[in-house]
Structure 1
Amino acid sequence: MNYLAHIHLAHITDTSMLGNFFGDFVKGSDLSHLNDEHQLGIQLHRRIDSYTDSHAQVKALRALFPKSIRRMSGIVIDIYFDHLLCANWAQFTDRELDKLLGHFYAEVEQYPHSISERFQQVREGLLTHRWLSDYQYAESCERSFLQIERRLGHRVLFANEAIEFIQHNEQELQSSFLAFYPELIEFSHAKVEELVHKQSRI
């Protein structure tokens, strides 16, 4: 899953939004340099990603992609699912998107450390442009795809084909998301209980 989904899942499971966000930037199994709250968020983030990658709905969507961009299908789905989460936001929480993101941005701004170079780059962009709410607009997905292309030095070109795929499969993507995301929420709640229990025994 992408940034916004991890923030939302942290919110509804009452875990650290910042800790869940760290999951994209902290590598390896040694998390001892972080506090318990942030460690829990990273562990939840990793389990959410594993669950998503192995879920039947997501596997079926990836199989629909043309072979030319199939290896990028996971990234495309993650980003487009953030758009679909925005589009269906009221089904999953009564907290306004802008208020939730305002709280998240404050956490990011107040965090005193840089956990990685990539985190620092994303952090600066987030605090300058506050772009997470842009996912409510489908066009933001294309911008994200193009940014990824640039970050990869244009060695992989997939953005235009990905947008074409989305346009031709909007209904399938929407129905798959609405079937999958409630199951992901249920999984996340159960996984938090398991992780907290495990953490308390250490």
Structure 2
Amino acid sequence: MNFLAHAYLSFHQPALLTGNMMGDFVKGRQMALYPASVQRGIALHRAIDTFTDTHPSTMTAKDIFRPQTRLYGAVFVDIIYDHFLANDPLHFTDASLQSFAQQVYHTLHIQDFALPPDFTRMIQYMSSENWLYGYKSKEGIAQSFRGMVRRAKYIDFTASVPLSVFETNYAALQQCYNDFFPELLTFAKDYIAA
């Protein structure tokens, strides 16, 4: 999943949120550098990613992207899942998404321990450009796609390619999200409770 889902699946627990959001920036044994409560968030991030990557609906969504984006389909699926979550009336209204995004940025900015430098830089961009709220619009998704294509070393297509797949297959991708996200929500709650 992408940033909005990881934040949402932290259930307003600050240390869990911090670890869950920075999970991709902490490799292997580096996890031991953080408080136990943040380590739980990093572990949750990894569990969410594994659950997501192996879920049948995610496999279907990746297959929709694969002819045009090859192995990079998973990256674009993560981003579009955040779009559908941002627009899911069971989880957000426009106002509650805006408020939630600001709470997440505030929580990440006030940490009293050192965050990974790359994560700290990314949070500056995320909050100044309001990425979490931006996932709501198709333009926000297009911007995310452009950033992903720009940063990836081996992508040899423009952001218009996955954007076209997204727009052409919007209903099918929405159905993948609808089938997937309730199961992920249950999985994350059970994981935290265990």
By the TM > 0.5 criterion, same fold? yes
Q: What is the aligned partner in structure 1 of residue 173 from structure 2?
A: 173
Structure 1 183/15 Cα, relative in aligned 2: closer, same or farther at 3 Å?
Answer: farther
The Cα shift of 1:29 comes to 3.7
Letter in 1 for 2:67: K
Q: What is the aligned partner in structure 1 of residue 55 from structure 2?
A: 55
- TM-score under structure 2 length normalisation: 0.89
Structure 1 residue ranges without an equivalent (≥5): 195-202
The higher radius of gyration belongs to: 1
The Cα shift of 1:13 comes to 7.8
Is 14-23 or 104-113 further displaced after alignment?
14-23
The Cα shift of 1:93 comes to 5.8
User: Pairwise CA RMSD of aligned residues?
Assistant: 2.2
Structure 1 190/29 Cα, relative in aligned 2: closer, same or farther at 3 Å?
Answer: farther
The Cα shift of 1:174 comes to 0.6
Q: Note if 1:182 corresponds to 2:192.
A: no
Percent pairwise identity: 27
Distance in structure 2 (CA, Å) of the matches to 1:29 and 1:175: 38
Counting only pairs closer than 5 Å after superposition, residues 1-202 of structure 1 correspond to structure 2 as 1-11=1-11, 16-88=16-88, 90-92=89-91, 96-152=96-152, 155-194=155-194
SS in 2 for 1:6: helix
CA contact (8 A) 1:5 1:82 kept: yes
Letter in 1 for 2:147: Q
Structure 2 residue ranges without an equivalent (≥5): none
The Cα shift of 1:108 comes to 1.3
The Cα shift of 1:14 comes to 8.4
Distance in structure 2 (CA, Å) of the matches to 1:86 and 1:108: 20
- TM-score under structure 1 length normalisation: 0.86
Structure 1 49/143 Cα, relative in aligned 2: closer, same or farther at 3 Å?
Answer: same
CA contact (8 A) 2:9 2:185 kept: yes
Letter in 2 for 1:38: V
When the two structures are aligned, how many residues end up with a matched partner? 193
